[in-house]
Structure 1
Amino acid sequence: MPAFDLSAFLDGHPVATFVIDTTHTITHWNKACEHLLGWSTAEMVGTQNHWQAFYPKQRALLADLIVSGVDPAASEYYREKHKRSALIPGAYEDEDFFPNIGASGHWLHFTAAPLRDAGGRVAGAIQTLRDVTERRVAENALRKAHDNLEHLVEKRTAQLAEANQRLEDDIRQRELADAELRRRNIELTALNEQLGMTQQQLLQSEKLASIGQLAAGVAHEINNPIGYIFSNFGTLQSYLGSLFDALQAYRDAEPHVADAAVAERLRAMREELDLDFLREDIPSLMNESKEGIVRVRHIVQDLKDFSRVDANQEWVWANLHQGIDSTLNIVSNEVKYKADVVKQYGDIPDIQCLPLQLNQVVMNLVVNAAHAIGAERGTITVRTGADDAGEQVWLEVRDTGGGIAPDNLSRIFDPFFTTKPIGKGTGLGLSMAYGIVRKHNGSITVHSTVGAGTTFRVLLPVRHEEAQPGPAPEQGPGPA
């Protein structure tokens, strides 16, 4: 091909390319080379100075080695870095960083191949240069993010193990305290039978005080590890966001990978892992888990409230249906094996309330309904509605369980009253629910039929006002 035609072809080629002859003299230096390296065609063609565009001191490039017939494996500069081209016979590839190119240096990928005459003899060499800086930066960023994530996981795992150990130690201490408390209760009960009704009332007061103190202590101890988990959870969400950004940068760089086999392997791995699905599902899982942690913190806060520990509460306007749906998600594992949950929502306005406390009410009512259902699968119906004036909303939780005996209806909202076996219930759930509803200037009623089921109905004002003394909760013999 005539030199003029080859020059025109190379100048129109977007890849930086230069050509040398058998005397290592530059015969072609295209415009892409000028743009990338900053050396003009006039400065380079006809010289042997192509090394100056890359190195401060003279040394052979891959094209020089091909023209000289030297195997790059024998060169001190390329021995560890070069590789044979998989596409071009007799060609070699290399990749290196050049700090003197551009403001902050560039990573370049070289491919050098021999040029042969009609007799098959080497008549020169052609070398192309591709700027792979973005890919290298993305790879380094991904590698750094991966290393940071591994370090973080190891660190958090160690912290979690330490927190678990402290929690196990605390549980063992609480078990010992519970065993001692049960022993004392047995002794006090025997003494109670001997001293009569007056001494029995005194014993009940001491028992409530002891359990209240224990509840406050447990709440304090649980708050510490929950605090660690909550703090670490936010940090983990931030790190996951950074990791996804790094993965996206790597994905953007994927089309620029020179090796087709490597590019195909990366694409197959991305499809196998389904990264797009993970980017959508992981934040959802993280949000649900964080909501669970927040719920635990507020349960502990409710326990402290019961133990007469000051609480920080804020009244806000909230959608009751959203709170119910969120609570049903949290307790689904408790309910799904016992009953089908049917939601019958009416058209209700937002209400001014303490949303997390109302969620606690819903949780207690739904879990109690699930526990009331026997071996045969039942149904739990959650209904809502509003009065005609739009000043009050109501919530009903109805189950198809065994119902509540009439003798127990008048006591179900008493603290520590439970019909469950020892160790299966604290008797605090409905009492706490009643206290929360009264705090909202609302009312809670129960209607039950033995063998047919139970319905709890909660009535709440739309707008919060300071609580006024109200009647005790109502009980009835039949379903609402």
Structure 2
Amino acid sequence: MSHATTSIAAEQDGPADIALSEFFDGHPVATFAIDTAHVVTHWNRACEQLLGWTKADMVGTANHWQAFYPRPRPLLADVIIAGAAGLESELERLYPGKHRRSALIPDAYEVEEFFPNIGASGHWLHFTAAPLRDGNGRVVGAIETLRDVTERRVAENALRRAHDNLEHVVDKRTGQLADINAKLQEDIAQRLLAEAELRRSNLELTELNQQLSRAQQQLLQADKLASIGQLAAGVAHEINNPIGYIFSNFRTLQNYLDQLFGMLDAYQRAEPSLAAPDAATLRALRERIDLDFLRQDIPTLMAESGEGIVRVRHIVQDLKDFSRVDANQEWVWADLHRGIDSTLNIVSNEVKYKADVVKEYGAIPDIQCLPLQINQVVMNLIVNAAHAIGDERGRITVRTGRDGDDHVWLEIGDNGSGIAPETVSRIFDPFFTTKAIGKGTGLGLSLAYGIVQKHSGRIDVDTALGQGTRFRVRLPIRHGAATEDPTA
């Protein structure tokens, strides 16, 4: 299509051409179009900003090469206009090794090249050109888009230079290492002796480090438990005093109410002997306050309030039994069942909405232990069991029993999700957890392991995916029994 034909078409299709021009001008990507005579028909504002040539400079001319090169030469859109004959060879001549077919636009080609004439220090441009066709599929022009990729290419060149420098440094270092290795070969006998000594020292250091890590964990746990115990004891003390007042006053109030009810009975018996006005006044007052209902409801309210006060006292006592601050981390003889019950009461809010707790206690003696730490083991295992249960209500079973003459055991099992076989060996590692981020610290079982080890006991796990998990803790009855592997 000639330039004259394009002008006629523009006059005939003025609104469409105006809309196309507005589309070009509003497009953020630098874009221009030419007709089959290589005359520029559109040159948008992004082109003006990128190349520095205005629409007035370009539209209606074939001078678009001036924006890119110092001498006339075809652009990618010009080659597209030339047609299929010799297209590939012409592209290879103008852009050797730089051109490729577009993967997105049919019959379009892409090129990336550096233009030193653009801007103060030149620009890298990625340009894509495609033919424009009319409704009959005839080529009536070409469109070309331009993207400034200077920053990317500069970064790539910098990365390439850094890579080359790194290779040079590596080569140099490799040569130095080769020299050093040759020298080391001369002293191989001495080095072998040194390595053997180093391995021995490393084993000793590893063992010492493990001991230090265990001691640190135990110290942190002891501090944590002591803080919890002090807080629990303080809260229990602060609650216990007002509860004592309430409980004492409650009994006195009950006696007062009994006396008042006795007096009311006497008044009611004497009512028939009163004068008619007085008797009528008493009957009206009795009916207004519904005395019969009050005499039935007040004892019920008092009984319920009494049960509530007793419940609070039990919770406070369980809190004190759980913390056992008065034990001061000393080895004492303690009732394991009482500790379990206190712990279950403390964590009841964590468990009651997820599972039913079933207790199957055996006949066991008191054991010599650190009660606060044993309570912590029970709490960690029960909370873990509750977390392992899914959306459906589950079951947590707590069992105890005697193992020979010198040991007892406690067992906490659930019917939850179970533990994957590949992670069972790591569940006692510090900071290892299978819970979601933010849902667990990975210290619960690790601390339980350390406490059981401190008590010369062991902890076993039996689990199956989809069926549940059972932890069994075996403890000596008397402190000072032979130490055994906690997970043997």
Q: Report the TM-score when normalising by structure 2.
A: 0.45
Q: Report the TM-score when normalising by structure 1.
A: 0.45
